[in-house]
Structure 1
Amino acid sequence: MDIGGTHVTAAHVDVTAGSLSLGPSHREPIEGTVSADEFVSALVRCAGRLPGPAGEHWTIALPGPFDYQHGIGRYEGVGKFEALRGFDLRTALTARLPGHPTVAFCNDADSFTLGEWQAGAARGQRTVTGLTLGTGVGSCFLREGTIVRQGHGIPPGGRVDLMEHAGRPLEETVSRRALRRAYARAATDPGEPDVREIAERARKGDSAAVGVFTQAFHALGLVLGPLLAAYEPDVLVIGGSIAGSWDLVAPPLREGIAAAAPESGRTVVVPAQFPERAPLLGAAYLATAVNAPSG
């Protein structure tokens, strides 16, 4: 199961002979402002709509801050899932999912990057950096298929979201809420559009909307450039809901990376090949315990 800031997706994944086969999936809308009970109900409803027997084991990919070992939310001041702060999600789901399965949790950026490394845009690459752009900035660093949390060019804990731009937290510039806030300040008659609508306005020539994307993703490039120059990944693969506007994200992002670190040019910057499937495949891969995070 993959949980984003606006949706939850569930699928059966068959793990046999070391390979993963993704079955039918179901997607359910969910907002980051729902209560804990509404959140659990949405996940149970999504799982219940899958065809076939209930799974005996569920691995759930979701964004941090979250205590993945104990299944407890640590969200506070991040604009999403505040109702899960201190909430024991594992116990709640184990009780309500069909068959009372075992439930494990993993970081959504980790599962996304592993899924793209297995089957998508990063397949076959030795070193990979993955980013998810949505309600926040998720990140993962891989070396030969193993998650690394520390080392040259890797921010503390592997978390790009904890970095700063212009003396402010990065997610104050690059996130769903940051883009909406920036557009509300810049536009003469902004209304309350979400990021997808802001992107559509940019494509139609709205200069305020174009400026919002340009400024945000040039800033992200400036932050990423030194990391890429030091870590030297073969590929930077980007997913998440905002990456769906790749035509608006890629040019300022690449320009920012090049401006900050011209020597980072060996890293290929690409969008996800399977943005919806990759987190599900990666979560299943983590569930097999073949990959154990290091660092």
Structure 2
Amino acid sequence: MSRKSLGESRNKYSLGIDLGGTKIAAGVVQNLQLISYVERPTEAFSSKQRILANIYDASVKAVKEAGIDLTDLSFAGLAIPACPEENGEVIPECPNLPKLGRVKIRPLLAKQLGCKVALENDANCFVLGEWFAGAAKNKTNVVGVTLGTGVGVGILLNRQLYRGKHWQAGEVWDQPLPGGKNLEDDVSGRKIAEALGVHSGLDVVQMARRGNREAKEIISQYGRNVGWLLAFIGRLLDPELFVLGGSLSQAFDIFEEEVNSFVKGRWEIWISKLGHRASVIGSAMLLNHPYPVSI
């Protein structure tokens, strides 16, 4: 899709919201530029009402920081750590957001914000944000891979998000592997942290940088697992580019050699230019991208 086809809606104000298990990020986008950005805790284990209030609070603060009113919004997009169901209206059962499982959130937000609202998987929003305004700009076929607590994959083919028949394209994290594991067990910051009894995958990275032998071995194996995943996706989709996001992508230098032992230079690998703001920008731009259901 040509950027020239975005039309006048590109000049209006759109709100992007990235709903995670730990934090909610929200920002206003105009002309592909993020003109405000706020964060607040999700409080994911509090109550449905509390989380919805937190989403609204983050939205209002982002709008206020942009110097506009809610009535100025033409659209709002919500990135969620799952694939939306029931024609893009419902958050499915999700371990990161247990209080919002089966909640028909799109009409609730549309009523609160007074504008059209769309839900989308956060990995799809990540790759879309990088395509509009980041590392994947002007590319045609791109795969975004988020490496953090878990792993997410967003696919953009022929300049359009590829969601698949059931909106499940790229949902590889729970793919069963031999030995009773799933794929995320091998490509997960949570799992490498558990192996050393530390808080996060970045803690393991820091230990490896300080020369801890066990941490270095764990990171090396993590790099091989990531390399295997990228090579498998590469053989399947043959993209121009992989864009890596998530917290562990910022430590790519420490496992780059292991990744390249599988990728072997066949596909470019770039690190996200937008960082944690990519999904906010991508979700705000959903209205300017082919969307499979009426909003």
Please give the range of the TM-score, normalised by the shorter of the 2 chains: 0.7 to 0.9
- 5+ residue gaps, structure 1, are 185-191
Distance change >3 Å, CA 35–CA 210, structure 1 → 2: farther
State the match for 2:78 in structure 1: 60
Q: Are the equivalent residues in 1 in contact too, given 2:118–2:286 (CA < 8 A)? A: no
- Residue 159 of structure 1 pairs with residue 171 of structure 2: yes
Instruction: Select 2:36's aligned residue among 15, 24, 45.
Output: 24
State the match for 1:134 in structure 2: 148
Offset of residue 225 of structure 1: 1.2
- Residue 180 of structure 1 pairs with residue 198 of structure 2: no
State the match for 2:119 in structure 1: 105
Show the 5 A alignment for 1:1-295.
1-14=17-30, 19-30=31-42, 32-50=44-62, 51=65, 52-54=68-70, 55-67=73-85, 69-76=87-94, 79-94=95-110, 97=112, 99-149=113-163, 157-167=169-179, 168-184=181-197, 192-255=198-261, 257-258=262-263, 262=264, 265-288=265-288, 290-292=289-291
Q: In 1, distance between residues paired with 2:51 and 2:250?
A: 25
TM norm structure 2: 0.79
Offset of residue 65 of structure 1: 4.2
Higher mean alpha-carbon deviation, 43-52 vs 30-39, is at 30-39
Offset of residue 217 of structure 1: 3.0
Q: In 2, distance between residues paired with 1:165 and 1:254?
A: 22
SS in 2 for 1:106: strand
Offset of residue 200 of structure 1: 1.9
SS in 1 for 2:220: helix
Q: In 2, distance between residues paired with 1:252 and 1:9?
A: 33
Offset of residue 130 of structure 1: 0.8
Offset of residue 121 of structure 1: 1.3
Distance change >3 Å, CA 219–CA 71, structure 1 → 2: same
Q: In 2, distance between residues paired with 1:89 and 1:176?
A: 29
Q: In 1, distance between residues paired with 2:96 and 2:238?
A: 32
TM norm structure 1: 0.79
SS in 1 for 2:137: coil
Distance change >3 Å, CA 140–CA 210, structure 1 → 2: same
Which AA in structure 1 matches 2:205? A
Q: Are the equivalent residues in 2 in contact too, given 1:146–1:292 (CA < 8 A)? A: no
Which AA in structure 2 matches 1:75? E
State the match for 1:188 in structure 2: none
Distance change >3 Å, CA 84–CA 243, structure 1 → 2: same
Q: In 1, distance between residues paired with 2:177 and 2:268?
A: 23
Q: In 1, distance between residues paired with 2:250 and 2:154?
A: 19
Q: CA RMSD in A?
A: 2.8
Distance change >3 Å, CA 285–CA 102, structure 1 → 2: closer
Q: In 1, distance between residues paired with 2:162 and 2:137?
A: 17
SS in 1 for 2:221: helix
